[in-house]
Structure 1
Amino acid sequence: MRTTFLFALTITLFACKEKQFHLPEVLPIDHPAIVTQEFIYELENALTPECHASTVEVSNGVVVASWFGGTKEKNKDVGIWVSRKIDGNWTTPVEVVNGMQKDGIQYPCWNPVLFKPKGEPLYLYYKVGPSPQEWWGLQMISNDDGKTWSKPTLLKEGILGPIKNQPIQLTDGVILSPSSNESTDGNWTIHIETSPDSAKTWTSSGPLNNPKNLGAIQPAILNYGDGKLQLLSRTKNEVISENWSIDNGKTWGETKATALPNPNSGIDAVTLKDGRQLLVYNPTGKNWGDRVPLSIALSTDGKNWKRVLDLEPLRENTDNEDEEYSYPTVIQAEDGKIHLVYTWNRKTVKYIVLNPKKLQ
């Protein structure tokens, strides 16, 4: 299993190809909870100049990752890419779909989300369109753990699918998908899309926040049991916002600011099997758009969070303004291991496995 980087070779080769991009020193993070840390593909083997918005799922023991990649976010050549970890190694990334339309117009793809409902195939949700204000949602299905995919199908009008983070499935089988809208007038709203039948049909809750008070997008769902759920969302207001439900998401309380900072960057969170809540986020807020460091915080009540690990710390003697570690996706597999992926300077995807028992 490859668990280390080809540090000197990677930096040398990539620096030659990308003279204008300042790469930080690539160092492994030393922490007892880290089982694996690696790039899904090495920098010198990148098939696209940029990548972003990665997602991960474990399907029948196979680790599957996806992201969007192309010349640059919003460019029409941006498609959805997939790699699988087989026998300890990541397969060469494959573009599984692009935004080409029947009329010959091609649009960029956005924000893939992998999700496997219990007893169902692996789903890949994504968006296509000229911008987040105009995109639409689609899905593909894999019956062989991400090796091959069905043709894309359009989600019904009014349903966008999970915008960035995975849905959760309740004990009764109901699926709650965290979604949001970015309107052309600049308003950001979050909502929940619900499926009672293993992701076959969906209904939308409608907006859960007043964007004039607190604009929010890209929620993540945490489950405290006994019907108690929490949404944590990205905002423009330098903080992560929250909503609470006490009836398994049928109704939601007011959107409020938390004490957690947010530099207008994507977050993700997962409820661990031991009852703790785990958040992956950029713990900066005053410098809007600052996406370093990337950190993990833990909580038992969703109110008091303790930052316990910097996956990408601030580095001395480095111009951190040139760096970006962002848009994490985090899951916990059946064996208890925590899997997460994130954007590494928009050049590759970093993959980390954690042992939650050593994450204190």
Structure 2
Amino acid sequence: MASPLIFLLFSFACGQSFDGVVRPTSDGRAEAYMIPPFKSNHASFLEKLPNGGLVMAWFSGATEGADNVSIVVAHLPPNSTQWSKASVVAQRSGYSNQNPVLFYRNATGILYLFHSQQKAKVPPSEDSANVWTRLSYTMGMNWTDEVDVFTKPGSFDRNRIIERLNGDILVPMYFAHGGSEDQFSAMQTKSVNEKDWHEHDVKKSNYLVQPSVIRPKPGVKQLTAYFRDRRHEHIYMSTSTDDGDTWTEPKKTKLPNNNSGIQANVLNYTSGNVVLCFNPTNEVRNPMTIGLSEDGGNSWAYQRNLEYKKESVGVMGVEYSYPSVLQTSDGYIHVSYTYNRETIKYMRFHEDWIKQK
């Protein structure tokens, strides 16, 4: 694999500095391009830490599905403008890692890393995947050995883990067992002390994967899940009124989906509104957009592009995809996403920025 220095030199030649420095922009945001450990970088995930810092994970390697593709982790310390160089935390010969999900659990003081892993093959063979986890008692600086959590072949994670009101955790999952029609979603729950997981079906979720689950109102059992559509048509939505035990049949929203990743979050530190990052198309992964809902995630009155290259629509190699989004107590909304597979782009802004256009 090529060294990070090569990618830094390439980034300067292209007009971006892949150096992890957070720089202000002219329109009120701040942004950074992560230092890419290896050639191909994809599927980032952001989590906030109790000290006020951020941690980001993604997968990096020769290309998706290739041998030794690794999960890497970088940090943004509190009040800092410099993301750290990413360190490799999961790598296995003969296998390819993907879809890291970070989860800091207040009840245990532990940072969890879930990720899928499959036999190395290009293009990837999804039906060989299962899900592993690692624990960090040092906020991501050191990690335990990985443990195989979901051994059923074709198991994948992707989006944010949430805590149920009874203290259990809920892990949104999807399963790939062949063609798109045979892919579907389910929710896995477990308490702190239990060893076994409990699976909760999402009926008629064929073609619908990578659910992103939110709790629109704090302390209320109602949950909402948004789904990626393998048919390149719409984002779908399902709800639960019993804190994730049962789910309604998913219904299509008015938002398009291009069979690419999405992620939602609730702005609990400010307005309580819902944000959703997605590609507003049925085809290419350009632009990357953030939507803002003022009615709990049912409609999206505001949408603003985070990244858009009009002259590059449909051009091979141009890709802004697989977003992660959260809010911190200072009111900032933080987003990361794949930037042309060359690196991961990070940005932050306030809610009003979404409404300005």
TM normalised by structure 2 equals 0.83
Whether 2:44 is the aligned partner of 1:47: answer no
Q: Which of 32, 56, 60 does residue 65 from structure 1 map onto?
A: 56
Q: Which of 199, 207, 210 does residue 218 from structure 1 map onto?
A: 210
Q: 1:13 — aligned with what? A: 13
- Cα distance change of structure 1 residues 161 and 116 upon mapping to structure 2, 3 Å threshold: farther
Using the TM superposition, give the Cα deviation of residue 328 of structure 1 relative to its aligned residue in structure 2, in angstroms: 0.3
TM normalised by structure 1 equals 0.83
Q: Describe the SS at the equivalent of 1:241.
A: strand
Q: 1:154 — aligned with what? A: 148
Using the TM superposition, give the Cα deviation of residue 178 of structure 1 relative to its aligned residue in structure 2, in angstroms: 1.0
Residues 234-253 of structure 1, C-alpha deviation per residue, up to 9 Å, x if partnerless?
01231111111112111111
Moved more, 65-74 or 194-203: 194-203
Task: Show structure 1 runs of 5+ residues with no match.
Answer: 1-7, 16-26, 101-105
Q: 1:297 — aligned with what? A: 291
Q: Which of 84, 109, 116 does residue 97 from structure 2 map onto?
A: 109
- Cα distance between partner residues in 2 of 1:321 and 1:198: 50
Whether 2:130 is the aligned partner of 1:136: answer yes
Using the TM superposition, give the Cα deviation of residue 162 of structure 1 relative to its aligned residue in structure 2, in angstroms: 6.8
Whether 2:324 is the aligned partner of 1:329: answer yes
Task: Show structure 2 runs of 5+ residues with no match.
Answer: 1-7, 16-22, 120-124
% identity of equivalent residues: 29
Give the aligned length: 324
Moved more, 347-356 or 201-210: 201-210
Q: Which of 186, 202, 206 does residue 201 from structure 2 map onto?
A: 206
Residues 335-356 of structure 1, C-alpha deviation per residue, up to 9 Å, x if partnerless?
3322221100000011112223
Using the TM superposition, give the Cα deviation of residue 11 of structure 1 relative to its aligned residue in structure 2, in angstroms: 4.6
Moved more, 70-79 or 81-90: 81-90
- Cα distance between partner residues in 1 of 2:350 and 2:12: 32
Q: 1:119 — aligned with what? A: 107
- Cα distance change of structure 1 residues 156 and 318 upon mapping to structure 2, 3 Å threshold: closer
Q: 2:276 — aligned with what? A: 279
- Cα distance between partner residues in 1 of 2:260 and 2:209: 10
Q: CA RMSD in A?
A: 2.5
Instruction: Report if aligned partners of 1:125, 1:161 keep a CA contact under 8 Å in 2.
Output: no
Instruction: Report if aligned partners of 2:128, 2:154 keep a CA contact under 8 Å in 1.
Output: no
- Cα distance between partner residues in 2 of 1:200 and 1:117: 17
- Cα distance between partner residues in 2 of 1:358 and 1:169: 29
Moved more, 126-135 or 156-165: 156-165
- Cα distance change of structure 1 residues 340 and 261 upon mapping to structure 2, 3 Å threshold: same
Instruction: Report if aligned partners of 1:295, 1:309 keep a CA contact under 8 Å in 2.
Output: yes
Using the TM superposition, give the Cα deviation of residue 200 of structure 1 relative to its aligned residue in structure 2, in angstroms: 6.2
- Cα distance change of structure 1 residues 9 and 69 upon mapping to structure 2, 3 Å threshold: closer
- Cα distance change of structure 1 residues 28 and 62 upon mapping to structure 2, 3 Å threshold: closer
- Give the aligned residue type for 2:204: N
Q: Describe the SS at the equivalent of 2:192.
A: coil
Q: 1:21 — aligned with what? A: none
Q: Describe the SS at the equivalent of 1:54.
A: strand
Q: Describe the SS at the equivalent of 1:221.
A: strand
- Give the aligned residue type for 1:343: T
- Cα distance between partner residues in 2 of 1:256 and 1:219: 13
- Cα distance between partner residues in 1 of 2:127 and 2:58: 20
Using the TM superposition, give the Cα deviation of residue 303 of structure 1 relative to its aligned residue in structure 2, in angstroms: 2.2
Using the TM superposition, give the Cα deviation of residue 188 of structure 1 relative to its aligned residue in structure 2, in angstroms: 1.5
- Cα distance between partner residues in 1 of 2:210 and 2:289: 18
Q: Which of 39, 45, 56 does residue 46 from structure 2 map onto?
A: 56
- Cα distance between partner residues in 2 of 1:77 and 1:83: 19
